[in-house]
Structures are given as structure tokens and as C-alpha cells.
Amino acid sequence: MSTHARYQSPLTSRYASQEMAQNFSEDKRYSTWRKLWLNLAIAEKQLGLTDITDEAIQQMRDHLDDIDYETAAAEEKKRRHDVMAHVHTFGNIAPAAAPIIHLGATSCYVT
């Protein structure tokens, strides 16, 4: 298990089950953000936003779980915003979706 797949806390090592620790992990958090952005794009496409292509949606689907934490950390240092750092990190591996990831949403959408 990677260090990003398990929530890190003294409470975790003593009291939390493995499943609970994974539920609050970085992997779970950021893959959930990506699933939310995917579903937002699907809904916006269904509502008629023509900027959203099938290719963009497929690229998002293909990269829900492969999070590049080094790039995200560099983006967060540069942008000083965790959500936007992950938007740009996701856009790097799903370039067709980059312009529409998080389209019309605020940071509170995922947090």
C-alpha cells in the first residue's frame, strides 16, 4: 500500500481499521474529486454544452486513480490552491479534458 493510500494519524495506527484509514486517504480523496469532475462533465454534456467531447470524458475515465502526487505538490506550491493544483494535474494526463475539468464549479464542489 502506498503512503498516499492510507490516512496518516496517531489515531489511525491505534484505533482505525484498514478500511477506515483508506476511506480518509489522499488516494480516496483525490480519486473522488476526479469522479466528481467526470460526472459534472457528463451532466454538462447532457445539458448541451458542446465544448465537452466524448474524448475528454473518456480521458477523464481512464485516469481516475493514477494521481501524480509530485506534480500536484509542484502545482500547489505554484498556485497556492489545492483544488486548482489537482485540476491542472488531472488536465496534464487528460489533455482533451483540461479546459472543461471543474467547468462551472467552485472549489467547494469537491471539498
Contact 96, 55 (CB under 8 A): yes
More confident residue, 22 or 32: 32
Q: What is the pLDDT of residues 49-101, one digit of tens each?
A: 888 999 999 999 999 999 999 999 999 999 999 999 999 999 999 999 999 99
Report whether pLDDT(6) > 70. Answer: no
Confidence of residue 21 (pLDDT cuts 50, 70, 90): confident
CB 96 within 8 A of CB 51: no
Query: Average pLDDT, whole number, for the chain?
Result: 92
Q: Which residues contact 93 (CB under 8 A, 6 or more apart)?
A: 59, 63, 66, 68
Q: Say if CB 91 and CB 98 are below 8 A apart.
A: yes
Burial of 44 (0-12, 13-18, 19+ CB in 10 A): middle
Mean pLDDT value of segment 11-23: 82
Please report the pLDDT score of residue 17 as a whole number.
85
Question: Where exactly are the structural domains of the chain?
Answer: 26-109
88, 75 contact by CB (below 8 A): yes
Q: How far apart are CA 20 and CA 84, in angstroms?
A: 27
pLDDT at 95: 98
Please give the CATH architecture assigned to the domain spanning 26-109: Orthogonal Bundle (1.10)
